[in-house]
Amino acid sequence: MATRTTQRIINWLTPIIFIALVLAIWEGLVFLFTIPQYLLPAPTVIAFDFIKNFDYLIFHAGITLWEAFLGFIVANFLGIVIAIAFAHSKIFEKGIYPFAIALKTTPIIALAPILVLWFGNGISSKVVAAAFVSFFPAVVNTTKGLRSVDPDALELFKSLSASPWQIFSLLRFPAALPYIFSALKISTSLAVIGAIVGEFVGSNKGIGFVILVSSYHLEIVKMFSGVIAAALIGILFFGMISWIEKWVIFWTNVED
């Protein structure tokens, strides 16, 4: 046991030490070469700014997280519903799949101005942008998951003369959950990107707005604070979903 806990400590400590090392080198280089602040501020300067503007950053980050979250919910709900239809109808899949691919390959940055035009400067255009980018993984992974069912298990259900609904609810859906959650985790970061892109194009709130405005004003330190806040949103969102996943899909951790 002792070796296992020390191993765990090492696993935690290693990345922390590396991050600290990188930050120290960054700080050292900025100091050594007297790099001007408008090009690259030192980590300590950013940290002070981040703490000083904490409330302001939290407010805008919260808005972005909310937009990303709503888009995430809409996209994954639709994605899962469509995937269920795919899994039960090949024709439906053949008809819809090209649209899904087309959606996926259209860059969100190209589409964002249209979304803002349609849905306005407020939160809804960002929600749509976030939903737009996080939709595809849900469709693909859920479809894959629903089809991943063990053929023997399917035969077991058939031998018991199970109804299609029973096969779905007792077998296919739970079997697809690990796939669905991997899509959800991918979606978290995509949804944040979608929301920020939407904010870049037209908004007066959110972390994308903060970054954009500070770039207009050449407030580089504040820009960096914004970027860090944006990264923290993504990490928080991902962490939340991973935590839920651990509770929902308890069986894959122990599976042999």
Partner 1 sequence: MFKIEHINYSYGSLRVINDISLDIKEGEFVSIIGPSGSGKTTLLKMLGGLLSPSKGSIAIKGGSLDLAVKRRDFGFVFQNPVLLPWRTVLQNIQLPLEIIGKKAPVNKSKKFLEIFGLEGFGDYYPAALSGGMKQRVAIARALVFNPDILLMDEPFGALDELIRERLNLELLKIWEQTGKTIIFITHSISEAVFLSNRVVVLSERPASIVNVREIDLPYPRTTKIKQSSEYFKHITWLREQLKES
Give me the residues that bind partner 1 (CB under 8 A), please: 150, 152-153, 155-162, 166, 170-171, 174, 177, 249-252, 254-256
DSSP 160: T
Decide if 233 contacts 207 (C-beta within 8 A): yes
Task: Please say which residue, 72 or 173, places its beta carbon nearer to partner 1.
Answer: 173
How many C-beta atoms surround the C-beta of residue 185 within 10 A? Answer: 17
Q: Which is nearer to partner 1, 55 or 152 (CB)?
A: 152
Tokens 């935690």 found at: 12
Question: Min. distance of Cβ 238 from partner 1 in angstroms?
Answer: 24
Query: Min. distance of Cβ 184 from partner 1 in angstroms?
Result: 17
Cα 132 to the chain's mean position, in Å?
12
Q: Give the nearer residue to partner 1 in terms of CB position, either 32 or 254.
A: 254
Q: Least distance from C-beta 251 to partner 1, angstroms?
A: 4
Q: At 43, list the tokens.
A: 């980590």
Output the six-digit token pair for 5: 């806990």
Which C-beta is closer to partner 1: that of 43 or that of 174?
174
Number of helices followed by number of strands (H, E) in the chain: 12, 0
- In whole angstroms, how close is the CB of 81 to partner 1 at the nearest point? 22
